[in-house]
Amino acid sequence: MFEIGWGELLIIGVVALIAIGPKELPTVFRTLGQWTNKLRRMASEFQSQFQEAMREAEMADLKKQVDDMTSQAQSYASFDPVAEVRRELDSTQQQIESAMADTPAASTSPPVAAEPSAAPATAPSTDPAIAPSTDVAAPSSGSSEPPAAADAAKPDGKPA
């Protein structure tokens, strides 16, 4: 630390012997040794306290990392994919229902066909949204609709 060599130490010893004297020199060296020991103990104590503070800081960082990992693992453990899909489907269903409720009721109901005797026969409309369908299924034996009503549903009013 101070880089004092043997020659320099010998010169300091000779000067101390002349200045202090041979009678009190051992007590001075003893006192100097005690102060040196106290100084070393204080330096060692400071160093150990500093290292302890560094370990506590590292431990706090490690504890934070462990807590983060634990919370992340708990979130993974509590993840329920079925419930997530159900929530998404419910949300989509609500959006569809609200969109269906927003459309006017008149456009969703099919147009009422006029009876052929009440209205004169007109040319079929070229608009596919207004024109009735020409694909009429043959009435089954269990059909409650009379044959005259089935003929009235055709655009030209003629039976098939």
Q: Is residue 16 in a domain? A: yes
Residue 141 Cα distances to 138, 144, 147, 149, 153, angstroms: 9, 9, 11, 15, 18
Range of the domain at 30: 7-82
Q: Is residue 56 in a domain? A: yes
pLDDT tens across 16-30, in order? 889 988 899 999 989
Q: Is residue 95 in a domain? A: no
Using left for φ > 0, alpha for ψ between -120 and 50, and beta otherwise, residue 3 falls in left
- Report how many domains make up the chain: 1
Q: Is residue 145 in a domain? A: no
**What is the reported pTM?**
0.37
pLDDT tens across 34-88, in order? 999 999 999 999 999 999 999 999 999 999 999 999 999 888 888 888 888 999 9
